[in-house]
Amino acid sequence: MDKKEFTKELLKLGVKATEDQMNKLEIYYKTLVEWNEKINLTNITEETDVYLKHFYDSLTLIKAVDLNQVQNFCDVGTGAGFPGVVIKIFFPNIEVTLVDSLGKRITFLDELVKSLGLKGIKIYNQRAEDFSQNNREEYDVVTARAVMHLRKLIEICAPLVKVGGYLIPLKGGIDELQESKNAVLKLNLQLEEKIEFNLPIEKSNRIIYRFIKTSISSKIFPRKYSDILKKPL
């Protein structure tokens, strides 16, 4: 996906990319490639692939929620900043929180955010389950992109979501909903929509789930990660 194709496909999502936003993505790409030589951030480094599989893919969150109506947003297991940093570039009024457990990635994100001149973005070097226990019912929208199986993700992320807010995982083409129904029930979520589509050009499959939080999550969740692994919900 070249930049012209990127902007064309964004228009189909209802987003008109500005010159400033495109300049920021160019800085993002160059910084990503430079840092990727020092630490492993991504296996995807060709510019056309980054614009499709990282930048565009991050913005497909728009299919599930009107981000113009969101005040704060948390990206769990953000890695190299996908989708959180991309969302911040295109929706600067959202207060964005990025969470990742690896210190080297946090160092990269700190430098990236400075290079991009982004304000209203917080970065936390914590394990997701610890962050979730300490920031309960804080966010309008919580997302995670290709991090772990849906049922584990639900237990870790749902406590972060405000009642009436949304958990919106971005997943590959494998539907994990059936195996995750117990987690959905126990964490007081309700599935509003499952959105299935193919990325433009290369046509790889994607699934986005939109869960609404119907009531406060029990304080027993999330459990320690070792317990989540031993006995998933």
| 147-200 confidence digits (pLDDT tens) | 899 999 999 999 999 999 999 999 998 899 999 999 999 999 999 999 999 999
Alpha carbon distance 50, 75 (integer Å): 19
Stretch (H or E) spanning 85: helix 84-90
| 87-125 confidence digits (pLDDT tens) | 999 999 999 999 999 999 999 999 999 999 999 999 999
pLDDT attached to residue 21: 98
In a domain, residue 30? The reply is: no
Q: Looking up tokens 């599935």, which residue turns up?
A: 191
In a domain, residue 137? The reply is: yes
- Asked whether residue 146 carries a pLDDT value surpassing 80, the answer given is no
DSSP classification of residue 145: B
- Asked whether residue 8 carries a pLDDT value surpassing 90, the answer given is yes
Q: Is the dihedral of CA 61, 65, 70, 76 positive or negative?
A: negative
Give CA 152 to chain center in angstroms: 15
Alpha carbon distance 76, 92 (integer Å): 19
Alpha carbon distance 124, 98 (integer Å): 6
Assigned token pair, 18: 């500005």
Assigned token pair, 219: 């304080």
In a domain, residue 47? The reply is: no
pLDDT attached to residue 173: 84
pTM of the entire structure? 0.96
Q: Is 117 exposed, middle or buried (0-12, 13-18, 19+ CB in 10 A)?
A: exposed
| 10-45 confidence digits (pLDDT tens) | 999 999 999 999 999 999 999 999 999 999 999 999
Number of separate domains in the chain: 1
Give CA 48 to chain center in angstroms: 21
In a domain, residue 29? The reply is: no
In a domain, residue 12? The reply is: no
Structural domain that includes position 194: 63-230
CB 93 within 8 A of CB 67: no
Alpha carbon distance 82, 86 (integer Å): 7
What CATH number did the domain enclosing 206 receive?
A: 3.40.50.150
Give the start-end residues of each E strand in 144-230.
161-167, 170-171, 189-198, 205-213
Phi and psi at 101, nearest 5°, equal -90, -10
Query: What is each CA distance from 210 to 171, 184, 218, in whole angstroms?
Result: 11, 11, 20
pLDDT attached to residue 85: 98
In a domain, residue 33? The reply is: no
In a domain, residue 140? The reply is: yes
Alpha carbon distance 6, 173 (integer Å): 21
Alpha carbon distance 176, 178 (integer Å): 6
Per-chain mean pLDDT for the chain: 97
In a domain, residue 82? The reply is: yes
Alpha carbon distance 120, 124 (integer Å): 13
Query: What is each CA distance from 110 to 16, 34, 117, 121, 193, in whole angstroms?
Result: 27, 15, 11, 10, 34
